[in-house]
Amino acid sequence: MGKVIVGTTMSLDGFMNDSHGSLERLYPNLEELRETEMLQESMKSTGAVVMGRHAFDMAKGDFTGYEYQVPIFVLTHHPPQPLTKGQNDQLKIIFVTEGVESAIQRAKEAAGEKDVTVVGGANTAQQILSARLFDELEIGIVPMLFGSGLRFFDNANASTGGLQLEKIQMLESPSRIDIRYRLVK
């Protein structure tokens, strides 16, 4: 069975968005990001994606051309209507209302031998980190300082404290550094 990999991008001072809630400065060139070794590797090894409702809403219901052409499990209390655009034989949107453990389990089953990649949203990632439902943590660091905004680790449950991580990979691209860590169990 594959691994569960939690991924995020943040500013050098640890913010996932700026003080206005915008992600634009972290992703100034999505085409360049798609060409990074990190994302190319992730797209090949991912068999399912887990994301939070906020990340889903940012796509405004349109996943046409989305990088990951795999089943996407969206954590939500209230599944939206109408149906999402961009679904096909590989990319299916599945709304999960039973919590993070259920979303991870269902994604693992869908992924088979491939990895489950967790994308977008501090809340979803923090729940997965706190419950220790992950194997690896991948952090993309963009060389800018926000000074304020939403920090990735600020609201993580106290059980996150004491997690020991081991660096297993570091990739550099023109606009960011991606570091992958393994959870030491």
Rg over alpha carbons for the chain, rounded to the nearest Å, is: 16
Quote the strand ranges of the chain, DSSP E.
4-11, 15-17, 46-52, 72-75, 93-96, 115-119, 136-142, 150-151, 165-173, 176-183
pLDDT value of position 82: 65
Residue numbers of the domain that contains 53: 4-183
pLDDT at 153: 80
Q: What is the pLDDT of residue 158?
A: 47
Q: What CATH number does residue 14 fall under? A: 3.40.430.10
Q: Is 38 in contact with 169 (CB distance < 8 Å)?
A: no
Return the structure tokens found at 78: 């209230």
φ, ψ (nearest 5 deg) of residue 70: -145, 170
pLDDT at 160: 58
Distance, in Å, from the CA atom of 148 to the CA atom of 9, rounded to the nearest integer, reads: 15
**Strand ranges, E, within 19-98:** 46-52, 72-75, 93-96
What is the reported pLDDT for 173? 81
The structural domain count of the chain equals 1
Per-residue pLDDT at 43: 87
Q: What is the pLDDT along the chain (185 residues), one digit of tens a residue?
A: 799 999 989 999 999 888 888 888 887 776 777 777 778 888 899 999 999 998 888 888 888 888 899 999 999 998 887 677 888 889 999 999 999 999 999 999 999 999 999 997 788 888 898 888 999 999 999 999 999 988 888 765 545 567 889 999 998 888 889 999 999 98
